[in-house]
Structure 1
Amino acid sequence: MSGARFVDGYLGSLLGQANHALYKDFDSHVRAAGLSSIEWRVLATLQDGPPLTVSQLAHDVLSKQPTVTKLVQRMAEQGWVTLLADPADQRRTLVAATGAGRKLVRPLLEKARARESEMLRTLGASEQAALRKLLAKLAGRPA
């Protein structure tokens, strides 16, 4: 057998391993707060931005729209999000975090930032900036 294995240099594998390294210990904090990983992603996404359509939210949290539709209805019952009619299109629903949802997720955001900083400490500032820019470009998002 010669050379490195395919998965050792495959981008999908490397990204998956990096993601796992970032979240492996963090997930226990999410569960301790009484949230599932997708509920955490929804609240983190809505924390400091405008209300989003269900379809945009589904895209941002990497899930299917029907799943997110049901999820945000349950989260609204919990008092973590509020559902609003989109004034531009009454057929669409906007989702916003409530004060209770923001309060619940705020300590998790601090833990997530700390974990990210810990993981990135081996990179210099220019490497960190380059990594963020490259990942945003690969994801089709503005840097």
Structure 2
Amino acid sequence: MSKTGPAAGPLPRRAQPPRGAATRAAVERGGTGFVDEYLGYLLGQANHTLFKDFDDIVREAGLGSLEWRVLAVLESQAPISVGQLTQDVLSLQPTVTKLVQRLAAQGWVTLRDDPADQRRTLVAITPAGQRKVAPLISQAKAHETKVLAGLSATEVRRLKEQLRRLAQSG
């Protein structure tokens, strides 16, 4: 079997088509296939477009994407439970539990028992965690502005409102 076949695994990053290429190709061919109008696919393509370059920035800062999401969520919140954090970062509780333990060992978060329910653990960002994530948040905002430059401020506001409504409907 060829080394480029399905059994060979994913292509190296440099050999893969640029992200968003599928959407551009759909537009060029008239976009008549199922996925060309399927919301989940379109949201996935938009997600790729939004994160394709920013993921590199996160990795260069020494973080994985889940670590980034955890620190970004905690950056502006009071301590929250691991369960709530799991929902906020769209992951699984065992994964988030292990991750926050590693982040605590690095000094980026603190863990403590919830005084209202000793079975729950509360997670809070530390000043060191704030220093780690603050530049990334600034870069994320700048990157978002660049990606959304083709939309008006009103379109961006409406898009975000509609996405929030969609997310809350499930």
**Same fold per TM (> 0.5)?**
yes
Matching residue of 2:66: 38
In our comparison, the structure showing a higher alpha carbon Rg is 2
2:149 is matched with which residue?
Answer: 121
Matched ranges for 1:89-104 at <5 A: 89-104=117-132
Gaps in structure 1 of 5+ consecutive residues: none
Structure 1 pair 123–85 and aligned structure 2 pair: CA distance change class (3 A): same
* Deviation at residue 3 of structure 1 after TM alignment: 6.8
Report the CA distance shift for 1:49/1:123 in structure 2 as closer, same or farther (over 3 A).
same
The residue number in structure 2 matching 1:111 is 139
1:52 offset after TM fit, Å?
1.0
* Structure having greater relative contact order (Cα 8 Å, sep ≥ 6): 1
Distance 1:3 1:21 in 2: 18
- Corresponding residue for residue 7 of structure 1: 35
Structure 1 residue 20, shift from structure 2 partner: 0.5
Which runs of structure 1 show a deviation greater than 4 angstroms over 4 or more consecutive aligned residues? none
For these two proteins, the number of residue pairs brought into alignment is 140
TM-score for the superposition, normalised by structure 1: 0.94
Shift of the alpha carbon at 1:51?
1.0
Q: Deviations over 1:10-40 (max 9, x none)?
A: 1011101111101100111111111111000
Deviations 1:29-70 (A, max 9, x none): 111111111000000000011111001101110100111011
Which sections of structure 2, spanning at least 5 residues, go unmatched?
A: 1-29
Partner of 2:163: 135
Percent identity over the alignment? 61
CA distance in 2, matches of 1:129, 1:46: 24
Is 1:19 aligned to residue 47 of structure 2? Answer: yes
Relative to the length of structure 2, the TM-score reads: 0.79
Instruction: Give the Cα separation in 1 of the matches to 2:139 and 2:118.
Output: 37
